[in-house]
Amino acid sequence: MLTLLLLIAGTWHDLHLSKTILHYNAGKQSFEISIHIFIDDLENAILLDGSSPLYLETSKETENAEEKLIAYIQRSFQLFIDGKSVNLNFIGREPSTDVLAIWCYFEVSDVQEEPGEFWVENKLLLDLFEDQKNLMNITGPGLQEYHLLDSEEPVARIKLK
């Protein structure tokens, strides 16, 4: 019975929320990014781009699923350091413990010096749901901020200095 409830919850949910943990690692001069997103919503957003179903995290996952996932996230989630857009390097992914969502990991390495400010544009799933919220937990040396981004305010600006 519990399995049936989990399957039903996995195909239909009223909560439209992604969670991102963005950590500035001063020692490594890098940004470490972890994105938690519901698999069904992610697949539906990628389908809007004209893709065929990906079947993420199943035995039927398509050969180019990861490539399409990375492209979607890199298009919808952007990091700007001191006004310059930077590339997100894909590290990997794994299903969340409830198997309804996925964690995707990215890194921006070789940040030459501590940035004065950076900002994040997080438009994940905003083209799919009017009520989509993207929770951002931003940490670093002496830094702990939370931002709740949506279609009205998809950008978080953070000053380090």
Please state, in angstroms and rounded to a whole number, the distance separating the CA atoms of residues 105 and 67: 14
What does DSSP say about strands 77-81 and 117-122: parallel, antiparallel, or unpaired?
Answer: antiparallel
d(CA 21, CA 24): 10
- Whether the predicted pLDDT of 62 surpasses 50: yes
Question: What whole-number distance in Å separates Cα of residue 112 and Cα of residue 28?
Answer: 10
For the cut 60, the answer to whether the pLDDT of residue 68 exceeds it is yes
The reported pLDDT for the residue numbered 3 is 41
| d(C-alpha 100, C-alpha 160), whole Å | 35
Quick one: pLDDT at residue 159? Answer: 85
Number of domains making up the chain: 1
- Domain limits at 120? 2-159
pLDDT at 13: 56
Q: What is the pTM of this model?
A: 0.88
What pLDDT is attached to residue 10? Answer: 46
pLDDT of 145 reads 94
The position carrying tokens 């198997």 is 99
Tell me the helices (H) and strands (E) count for the chain, helix number first: 3, 10
What are the Cα distances from residue 111, in Å, to 27, 156, 158? 11, 19, 16
Query: Helix 65-76 crosses helix 39-48 at what angle (to 10 degrees)?
Result: 80
